[in-house]
Amino acid sequence: MANHSVHQAFELFCQRAETEHGIAVGCYILMPDHVHLFVTLPAHGLTLAAWIQALRSVLGKRLVALGHQKPHWQEGFFDHVLRSGESYAQKWNYVQLNPVRGRLVANAEDWPYHGEILPLSFR
């Protein structure tokens, strides 16, 4: 899943989620077989499950167009509620090291498929 074209599709999807649904994506990292992202949803509107399904559909179509055979995704997803800025920073510090632990790069900042769509704040 981690390639330039899918990365662009991911960023566009997340930007549209904010303008169309009030869903804010903070830091994220695309890995070859999964994605980690931090997201806030409005109190009313799409559920996280519905939004993740839409994300999978959009990125799945891009992957098929690039010649990647299905399945692209594991069933279900794992979510974790963050309750403080400190927790967000700690989780991001751990997540951004995934490409290093996976021996894809020597340094986290060398992995090209990560970023931040919007700054998220937790109170």
Q: What is the pLDDT of residues 74-86, one digit of tens each?
A: 777 888 888 777 7
The count of residues in the chain is: 123
Q: For residues 116 and 65, which has the higher predicted lDDT (pLDDT)? A: 116
Q: Output the six-digit token pair for 93.
A: 């510090």
| Segment 72-97 mean pLDDT | 83
Which fold, 4-116?
Answer: Alpha-Beta Plaits (3.30.70)
Domain ranges for the chain:
4-116
Q: What's the pLDDT at 100?
A: 97
| Amino acid 78: pLDDT | 86
Helix locations, 1-123, DSSP H = 4-21, 48-65, 85-95, 98-101
| pLDDT tens per residue across span 29-51 | 999 888 999 999 998 888 999 99
- Full-model pTM: 0.87
Residue 4 confidence (pLDDT) above 70: yes
pLDDT number for residue 39: 94
